[in-house]
Structure 1
């Protein structure tokens, strides 16, 4: 900053706005340079939109980043993380020391924004496209909440910022198709169209007419100079007035806008600027060259001049809450469902009978439909197969004309469904999405992000084994159960019968961890009645279902549809060999592994021969059986045939299992 440059206090308000943007660029440059890692160019091209949004339009509580009726801002282009961290510093949510520790171990400023770690970060983003999907989910959840709680309680907007890479990921396009179909008019997406990717010019790989594509998706489309503050302001105001459609603001921007010599360069995308470029850019932007992470207090005060109005808006909202609570005694419990994730008492049906566990799930859904309003979800065009039809008929489909509907018609869009239900969960609605277990492959990235964010999304996967039958190997899951169990923090629940499905469902409903319910197509005989009627707990993950007769010599572990087979086989082995055989039902390995060592050793004595049975790939079970143990599973792809023929073919009959175990013991 030279002597001719006026001080911040001497500038006009318009000049102060621009200088604040310059200071943000300085923070971005310094953070990326100090970490020697990160993305500068995209953050520079996006900063004008983000600044105008945060300064003039975004509603938040300066003292409470988790206020329910806040506007949500999702940085889908998560590699631009120094942009949001710098803005969070202006909001007062993030200390300057955290900006200086960008991308360092233990900081609140990791390489990509992480929900639950940093105040003001609404979603964990970075894998491109998913932030757009979660934003759609948040906007959908807000519309549902608004329809049930009232427009005076929920009047927030959902904003998202994306780049070229986001819109090249099909998950983003699938969710945007749905956003237009649903008519999510309070969703505003800013597309930073700077035409540069890590590898160079976007036109090397893409010539899509984005504007025309989004018009076909039933979106409002606005095209502006994305570095012009006045145009940005007017575009946001225009988007806020939309009554029927979401809005995309296509901002034509310049990569690394404001750099001294590297404007428009792909070299600024995924790397820090050279030291000499930073010095020259600071001179150009009116920032002291010898000062790192520079922003004067008077500039912070200027940004925060809107804080009194924001606080007053929060107080008005609190008053509306109090007035509604006085007028309607049912309002507070309903509000707490949305704002505090309060699950009401559920009157579950009696499920102690023979049926497929997918059918039991359908009955549970219908029970919840009547009592838990902050609960929504749907199926990826498999309502009859996933048994979600009854729920759909009770609560009705969400549509652009009926926002109270809590059945979400996703169509054949498994990955978009996963991203959307994660967004709904982040907003405050307990959410589920259903499809076949084999198609969890399409959703794995969203499953991983749900676990990384530690949010309680429910993933319902039916047709959980080769017993689905004639559809054959393309539809028969083999490796899916063990592969899902590898995701840290994800609870994979495979109940043994209809009654246990109730307890698994209740665990999922209350869980802060994401859960998978793996459910059968075929009937299962009741096997857990005595355990649960005598006060047994699902929360332990694994338990003794059949005690050994006499001295314990063998433990058989099983899950889901194989538990009955394990019980029958254990009885036959005891009868044949006179050995004491215990059967352990393991509906959730993750919960079992969380128990004390004493409990686990009591259930699975370390020195006892152990066998595991599951109609899936075998690898994950050796941690319980030991390397010398026996695992009866399926380590090849399935076949097309009726279920009973397949079970016989793969050796899942009592005769085959008993024969294998006896040979193993001998």
Structure 2
């Protein structure tokens, strides 16, 4: 179908809306919306399968704007396409509580699939979305019933392609032969610092060919609508490779500053906007104008999308008649409901059970729930054996052509790509049918910190299996021993960080992580063996913190020892030593998850960490954050060292005697205080409000 004047009018509407919104906000990035408007229009009007009245339609095509700073392009498209993004929302761009924040946020603006803005995150998450489609199709599609067959489209800029996370993810995408992934590169040769030749002169398409991608070039992305359409159609025909299209565009097309870096990240001046509107046939004295012809054109697109969804619903209804259990399974996954009785498959332990590493206890959980939770899809960053993330009969997620597995496989070989692994999990979790997990050493979750941050912001349920969690890592030394990592991630909103002390606490960590519908989790696990402690249970640990032991014989406590992970058993031993050698009565509290403990009622928290008793935390990690729970802190505010772990614990005084020495000092100091108030008993709790 030929393009008409109405198509060009819609394109120019996208451009002028972006210019007006950014100017009103006095903040934003007009360059990409002006340059990429033709490609966005072609994609949304001729290809993208969506129904704006139901943004969560399961088999919709996914669109990701990886260069999220250009988000007025996306917001303008969503408005024209009929999503619940009004012209008033456009006018409120970058303003408080608006639906149009400065970068796209999933679960905030209808039609935004994943959170983007930090460069490279979007394209990496798009790889996860494409993997999820491939897996879901392989598991659920039947002959004549393609219930999953959507495409994932992604716009990227030069900045995204410079970021290492994009390289990691795209390398894996090529290996996985993700034919449903189509990327359009805004190849305008401009970045914030100026011409990309100053720092980025590689042949990008040759790099992507080496990754195993299908590559094309459209030489005039400013006006060649037919060329853009033909390139996307060609990409759709390539089913065994992801595709990238180098779209040669002019940044800020139509502005007097077009083609320069000055138009990238600053609002256009009033006279520039006026000439832009005149050039595109708009009244320079009017703002936020949307001609009826543009609305009418997209009403037809909207109707086409609504009809496509109705066709899919009819297909799914027939599918449900023939494949009822599969249909029920899809519905369950989309609702994020777990199967009845799933918690019975979590391992439980008694104090007579053998001491084993909590990474092994984690493996026991995965083995226990793998069959009952088929949505659980995970892997490791080339650390499968030390992470213990794979159950024995797991099938690898691989392209069938490689002979290494199948797309129905549930174990992902991420390779040494921690950052991409985190961002890909955001895409997997956003798709709707998969509960992703992945393993690496806790120290190297830091490689993926930007992706973990977006997990929390985007409310994505996923699980990091983070092993080798302390100086207990041992001989590998300070480079591999995470000291500050948990303090960092504990400070992250909407992210559960667990450091379990034994098997029951490990099962509790998984129970909470699997049941959470909108929260990512990091489970920090030991390399060294841990004893199974008396008085632990899944129910107790799921409160985030609880009293493990009180002084014998109902004696009044002189001190509370508070700890996590491998140091909890040390505190149990230290409490016995204090009673025997110093005549001091110590309570022991296990605090495996700060965030979950924080969510408990104040009355409960005070029952665990009461007024009137001084407290000491013991953890072989940085002490940052512990002041919220204890009066004194014993930790490791320096780097570790290389030696067998028992020697390291001795070197840094994490021994029964070392804990006892600090416990005695704590009691002696706080005797001077007339009344000891618990650190959890504050004027206001951690909600930043009164």
TM-score (norm 2): 0.92
Structure 1 residue matching 2:629: 3-state secondary structure: helix
Q: In the TM superposition, what whole-angstrom CA distance separates every residue of 1:550-593 from its partner, at most 9, and x where no partner exists? A: 11221110101111111111122123344332111000011111
Q: Find 1:186's aligned residue among 158, 180, 184.
A: 180
> Does 2:211 match 1:206?
no
Q: In the TM superposition, what whole-angstrom CA distance separates every residue of 1:388-430 from its partner, at most 9, and x where no partner exists? A: 2325x42334335411111110111110111111110111211
Aligned to 1:413: 417
CA offset at residue 92 of structure 1?
1.6
> Does 2:651 match 1:665?
no
Q: Is the 8 A contact 1:182 1:400 kept in 2?
A: no
Q: In the TM superposition, what whole-angstrom CA distance separates every residue of 1:67-110 from its partner, at most 9, and x where no partner exists? A: 11110000000000110000010122101101000000111111
Instruction: Show the 5 A alignment for 1:439-478.
Output: 439-478=444-483
Aligned to 2:261: 266
Structure 2 residue matching 1:371: 3-state secondary structure: coil
Q: Is the 8 A contact 1:399 1:405 kept in 2?
A: no
Q: Find 2:51's aligned residue among 33, 55, 61.
A: 61
Structure 1 residue matching 2:411: 3-state secondary structure: coil
Aligned to 1:245: 241
Aligned to 2:671: none
* CA–CA distance in structure 2, aligned partners of residues 123 and 138 of structure 1: 9
* CA–CA distance in structure 2, aligned partners of residues 422 and 330 of structure 1: 27
Aligned to 2:136: 145
Structure 2 residue matching 1:25: 3-state secondary structure: helix
Aligned to 1:124: 115
Runs of 4+ in structure 1 over 4 Å off = none
* CA–CA distance in structure 2, aligned partners of residues 331 and 496 of structure 1: 38
* CA–CA distance in structure 1, aligned partners of residues 448 and 300 of structure 2: 44
Q: Is the 8 A contact 1:145 1:374 kept in 2?
A: no
Aligned to 1:166: 160
Q: Is the 8 A contact 2:394 2:409 kept in 1?
A: no
Aligned to 1:322: 317
Structure 1 residue matching 2:15: 3-state secondary structure: helix
Q: Find 1:348's aligned residue among 346, 349, 364.
A: 346
CA offset at residue 129 of structure 1?
0.4
RMSD of aligned alpha carbons: 1.5
CA offset at residue 337 of structure 1?
4.1
CA offset at residue 456 of structure 1?
1.2
Q: Is the 8 A contact 1:221 1:249 kept in 2?
A: yes
> Does 2:600 match 1:610?
no
Q: In the TM superposition, what whole-angstrom CA distance separates every residue of 1:486-533 from its partner, at most 9, and x where no partner exists? A: 1111110011102211111111111121100000001110015x342x
Aligned to 1:357: 358
Structure 2 residue matching 1:657: 3-state secondary structure: helix
Aligned to 2:441: 436
* CA–CA distance in structure 1, aligned partners of residues 112 and 234 of structure 2: 26
Instruction: Show the 5 A alignment for 1:515-534.
Output: 515-528=521-534, 530-532=535-537
> Does 2:556 match 1:554?
no
> Does 2:287 match 1:292?
yes
Q: Find 2:76's aligned residue among 83, 86, 92.
A: 86
Structure 1 residue matching 2:337: 3-state secondary structure: coil
Q: Find 1:254's aligned residue among 250, 253, 260.
A: 250
Q: Is the 8 A contact 2:389 2:438 kept in 1?
A: no
Aligned to 1:5: none
Q: Is the 8 A contact 2:152 2:181 kept in 1?
A: yes
More displaced 10-residue stretch of structure 1: 279-288 or 649-658: 649-658
> Does 2:603 match 1:593?
no
* CA–CA distance in structure 2, aligned partners of residues 336 and 567 of structure 1: 46
Structure 1 residue matching 2:321: 3-state secondary structure: helix
CA offset at residue 660 of structure 1?
2.6
CA offset at residue 291 of structure 1?
1.0
Q: For structure 1, list consecutive stretches of 5 or more residues without a partner in the other structure.
A: 1-11
CA offset at residue 350 of structure 1?
4.3
* CA–CA distance in structure 2, aligned partners of residues 440 and 603 of structure 1: 31
* CA–CA distance in structure 2, aligned partners of residues 643 and 84 of structure 1: 52
Aligned to 1:536: 539
